[in-house]
């Protein structure tokens, strides 16, 4: 009986060793897929060769590290039975490896580390799920190849539709709620969480992974909005990150940029594979869309960008509060930082990057823990909205949407000539107590912009 206990212990130690060094397994996969991504690159030949050399070296290095881990694992699994045979003066071949007791000891010892790892999964993401996200979302060239395949296979019988709807605005202005309300009218198609991580190949992924309607949970913002796998969210920005190679995201800011004609045409093809048919209109929530809005309207004067705006003081306080919450989340869950980077969610948190529209953003004069900073962010964003305002932008006052959601939905659908059947949405009031100091002059500046937006929303 002692032998079976020792056999159990040897496999328990070995598999905990392997689980502890799981990153060695992941690194082999990550570097191998990165090597493939480098080989698919369309960049200049000398840069491509350097990338291939880099990831070839990393792939062999990770393979060597994994081999060492496996050799140590083999030693760990054998050393206790060997010591037992030495003290009992037995030959190794005389040890019992195949009886029912031995098999049970081996199975239990190797299974416990898998069911009771050192770290539990966080926010519903298993280790394998995280790895899949890294393999797919970190490799843009593979993503473009998958997108090309999707377009060829799934867009043949779907016509272009210049009319589409983008819901935008500074974060915490009600964009998620409004997008969900629009989607419930059944006039739209959009990306949802079940498309992750294959955002550029949603149809292919759906054939592999088609989850049932999942349990709704409050999102990490802790604002009462419930999310599930079939919930639509701000996911299309990954497309623009890929086609622009992140060149609008620098160390400190998100920059305005131009979209080429070929970029626009690919975007319209992307919309087709998301729409899946000719009856639906493409819908996306994208708070970063204004970074390329001026370029986009050069190619299309039929789409609508819905921009929500909110009282600057309450809005800034909400942003500040969410900034603190996001930092706490990211400190306890490093994967959350990477997840937000993939989707270009830099609105708040440890990797916050404000919009830079004219290279004159002054927000850095204040600490991010100051309400004044977020008032500057608000002023910077909505002053730019006033500058680019045209007939394709529909202004929606957040407070009006909260009180009269039905009228708001009706207004938006009227702007794109769609009939609306009321869903009996219930209005509410959402004002918060302001318990932070702020500059009256900064607020006055923001309120002037707010008044201008109010006067123009019914133009």
Choose between 139 and 91: higher pLDDT: 139
pLDDT at res. 220: 53
Checking if the pLDDT of 428 tops 70, the result is no
> Which run of H or E residues covers position 393?
strand 393-397
Question: With contact defined as beta carbons under 8 Å apart, do 412 and 306 qualify?
Answer: yes
Confidence of residue 102 (pLDDT cuts 50, 70, 90): confident
pLDDT at res. 165: 98
CATH 3.40.50 fits domain 129-456 = yes
pLDDT at res. 209: 86
Residue with tokens 């202004």: 395
pLDDT at res. 223: 47
pLDDT at res. 51: 94
C-alpha to C-alpha distance for 167 and 175, rounded to whole angstroms:
6
Six-digit token string for 116? 């009771």
Quote the percentage of the chain above a pLDDT of 90: 68
DSSP state of 94: G
Checking if the pLDDT of 339 tops 70, the result is yes
Query: Which three-class secondary structure state does DSSP give residue 30?
Result: helix
Confidence of residue 123 (pLDDT cuts 50, 70, 90): low
Checking if the pLDDT of 214 tops 90, the result is no
Half-sphere exposure of 364 (CA within 13 A, CB side): 10
Checking if the pLDDT of 221 tops 70, the result is no
Q: What is the CA radius of gyration of the chain?
A: 27
pLDDT at res. 128: 87
Q: Which residues, in sequence order, are CB contacts of 77 under 8 Å at separation 6+? A: 10, 11, 14
Phi, psi of 416, rounded to the nearest 5 degrees: -120, 20
Which residues partner with 168 through β-bridges? 307
Question: With contact defined as beta carbons under 8 Å apart, do 423 and 407 qualify?
Answer: no
Residue with tokens 């694992």: 73
pLDDT at res. 89: 62
Q: Residue 271: exposed, middle, or buried by beta-carbon count in 10 A (0-12, 13-18, 19+)? A: buried
pLDDT at res. 83: 79
Query: Which three-class secondary structure state does DSSP give residue 255?
Result: strand
Helical residues (DSSP H) of 193-349, grouped into ranges: 202-208, 237-243, 261-275, 293-296, 312-332, 334-342
Entry pTM: 0.88
Choose between 29 and 81: higher pLDDT: 29
Give the dihedral sign, CA 142/148/153/157: positive
C-alpha to C-alpha distance for 378 and 303, rounded to whole angstroms:
25
Confidence of residue 440 (pLDDT cuts 50, 70, 90): very high
Domain spans of the chain, in order of start? 2-118, 129-456
Choose between 425 and 48: higher pLDDT: 48
pLDDT at res. 227: 55
C-alpha to C-alpha distance for 80 and 84, rounded to whole angstroms:
6
pLDDT at res. 232: 85
Which range (85-89, 213-217, 240-244, 439-443) has the least confidence?
Answer: 213-217
pLDDT at res. 419: 81
Pairing of strands 217-218, 226-227: antiparallel
pLDDT at res. 217: 57
Quote the percentage of the chain above a pLDDT of 70: 88
pLDDT in tens, 31-68: 999 999 999 999 899 999 999 999 999 999 999 999 99
N- to C-terminal Cα separation, the chain: 85
CA 263 → CA 126, 152, 239, 257, distances in Å?
35, 17, 10, 12
Checking if the pLDDT of 113 tops 90, the result is no
C-alpha to C-alpha distance for 110 and 103, rounded to whole angstroms:
11
Checking if the pLDDT of 358 tops 80, the result is no
Which residues partner with 122 through β-bridges? 125
User: What is the chain's mean pLDDT, rounded?
Assistant: 89
Which range (157-171, 213-227, 391-405) has the least confidence?
Answer: 213-227
> Which run of H or E residues covers position 254?
strand 254-255
Give the dihedral sign, CA 220/226/228/233: negative
Which range (38-52, 81-95, 99-113, 365-379) has the least confidence?
Answer: 81-95
pLDDT at res. 126: 84
Confidence of residue 362 (pLDDT cuts 50, 70, 90): low
């Amino acid at each position: 009986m002692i032998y079976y206990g020792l056999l159990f212990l040897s496999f328990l130690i070995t598999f905990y060793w392997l689980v502890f060094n799981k990153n060695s397994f992941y690194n082999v996969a990550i570097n191998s897929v990165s090597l493939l991504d480098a080989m698919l690159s369309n960049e200049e030949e000398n840069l491509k060769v350097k990338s291939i050399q880099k990831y070839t070296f990393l792939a062999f290095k990770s393979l060597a590290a994994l081999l060492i881990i496996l050799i140590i694992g083999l030693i760990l699994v054998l050393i206790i039975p060997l010591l037992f045979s030495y003290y009992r003066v037995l030959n190794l071949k005389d040890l019992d490896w195949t009886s029912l007791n031995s098999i049970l000891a081996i199975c239990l010892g190797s299974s416990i580390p898998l069911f009771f790892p050192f770290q539990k999964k966080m926010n519903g993401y298993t280790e394998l799920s995280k790895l899949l996200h890294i393999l797919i979302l970190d490799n843009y060239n593979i993503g473009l190849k998958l997108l090309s395949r999707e377009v060829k296979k799934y867009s043949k019988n779907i016509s272009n539709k210049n009319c589409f709807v983008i819901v935008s605005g500074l974060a915490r202005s009600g964009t998620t709620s409004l997008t969900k309300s629009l989607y419930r009218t059944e006039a739209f198609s959009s990306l949802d969480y079940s498309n992750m991580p294959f955002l550029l190949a949603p149809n292919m992924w759906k054939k592999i992974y088609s989850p049932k309607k999942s349990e709704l949970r409050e999102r990490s913002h802790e604002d009462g909005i419930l999310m599930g796998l079939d919930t639509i969210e701000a996911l299309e920005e990954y497309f623009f990150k890929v086609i622009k190679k992140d060149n609008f995201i620098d160390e400190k800011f998100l920059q305005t940029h131009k979209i080429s004609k070929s970029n626009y045409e690919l975007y319209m093809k992307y919309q087709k594979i998301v729409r899946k048919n000719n009856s639906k209109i493409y819908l996306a929530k994208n708070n970063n869309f204004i970074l390329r809005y001026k370029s986009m309207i050069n190619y299309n004067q039929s789409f609508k960008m819905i921009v929500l705006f909110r009282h600057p003081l309450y809005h800034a306080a909400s942003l500040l509060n969410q900034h603190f919450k996001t930092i706490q989340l990211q400190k306890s869950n490093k994967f959350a930082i990477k997840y937000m980077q993939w989707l270009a969610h830099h609105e708040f948190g440890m990797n916050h990057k404000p919009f830079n529209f004219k290279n004159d953003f002054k927000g850095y004069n204040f600490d991010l823990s100051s309400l004044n900073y977020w008032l500057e962010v608000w002023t910077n964003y909505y002053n730019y909205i006033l500058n680019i305002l045209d007939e394709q932008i529909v202004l929606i006052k957040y407070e009006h949407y909260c009180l009269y959601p039905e009228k708001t939905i009706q207004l938006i659908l009227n702007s794109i000539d769609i009939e609306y059947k009321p869903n009996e949405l219930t209005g509410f009031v959402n004002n918060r107590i302001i318990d932070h100091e702020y500059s009256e002059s900064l607020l006055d500046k923001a309120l002037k912009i707010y008044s201008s937006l109010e006067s123009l929303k019914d133009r």
